[in-house]
Amino acid sequence: MVRIGCSGWSYAHWRGVLCPEKGSTASWLQLYAQRFDTVEVNATFYRLPTRVSVERWASRTPESFCFAVKASRYLTHVRRLTGLDEGLRRLEERIGPLRSTSKLGPLLWQLDGRFHRDQTRLAAALERLPEGRHAVEFRHDSWFVDDVYELLRTHRVALVVADRAPAGPTPWVPTCDWAYIRFHSGRGRNGVYTRSQINESCGRLAAFGGDVYAYFNNDWEAFAVKNAEQLRDALEVVPDGARSQRAPGSVRRRWRRTPSLR
């Protein structure tokens, strides 16, 4: 399974690209879901949505659609992974409609760039995580060591591969049988991903072989939409509702012998 999408679905500069030039934004999620089969919800990092809002997300997307949800910064940046019980309870209550409709993908845990390695704290947090898939994005270099990778493997948690130009991507170290990729900024003009970068990513994902969740959040000038579709087309991933009429939940993936961007 390969799912490729964007970080969010409601950006003013997407008008005329993915959404109408004028009018209400109420239908934007449905329009997005016609082109992609997954989205990374970043808004939950800043403020938890109401349960009613999440119910609308679930009702306005196809049966096979998937939401990756970013955990609250209160848990990752303020509490720094301590005292998670109440925060996790509130998060689970709000996103419950996604879980009950099988539309909940991985939970993304992005740590503060000033948060240095603390394996004891990380281990305690991983023990308390709810069921499902979880991915951790470290932003301080001290975390990228073998002991941390082994801890993630023990709990079957994915190490997020985050690409942040001009710096290179964080290490691609498999810690479970699925991968979570975040494309923050490409090497092209204003952060667009170039053809060569798309081809490089295509080859890496094809070689991985496991389930993949990949999201573009280089949203300037709607680059995220363009680049996500380029990578999806290069991998020949056909999401439900976008380019085929197939049974709900099915995703076709074909690898060309030499992955390339057409």
Q: What is the pLDDT of residues 237-251, one digit of tens each?
A: 766 555 443 333 334
Alpha carbon distance 113, 244 (integer Å): 41
Name the more confident of 15 and 214: 214
36 with 251: CB under 8 angstroms? no
Alpha carbon distance 189, 47 (integer Å): 31
| CA angle (186 as vertex; 181, 190 as ends), nearest 5 | 140
Output the six-digit token pair for 214.
């990949």
Q: What is the share, in percent, of the chain residues with pLDDT greater than 90?
A: 75
Biggest CA–CA distance in the chain, Å, is 52
The CATH number that applies at residue 60 is 3.20.20.410
> Which has the closest alpha carbon to 198: 252, 153, 262?
262
Residue 260 falls within a domain, yes or no?
A: no
Q: Which domain holds residue 41?
A: 2-253
Q: 207 pLDDT exceeds 80?
A: yes
Residue 261 falls within a domain, yes or no?
A: no
Please state the domain count of the chain.
Answer: 1
Residue 174 falls within a domain, yes or no?
A: yes
The amino acid at 232: R
Task: Give the mean pLDDT of 95-116.
Answer: 97
Residue 262 falls within a domain, yes or no?
A: no
Q: What is the pTM of this model?
A: 0.89
For 155-178, the pLDDT digits (tens) are 999 999 998 877 777 899 999 999
184 with 193: CB under 8 angstroms? no
Q: Is 107 helix (H, G, I), strand (E, B) or coil?
A: strand
For 32-82, the pLDDT digits (tens) are 999 999 999 999 999 999 999 999 999 999 999 999 999 999 999 999 999
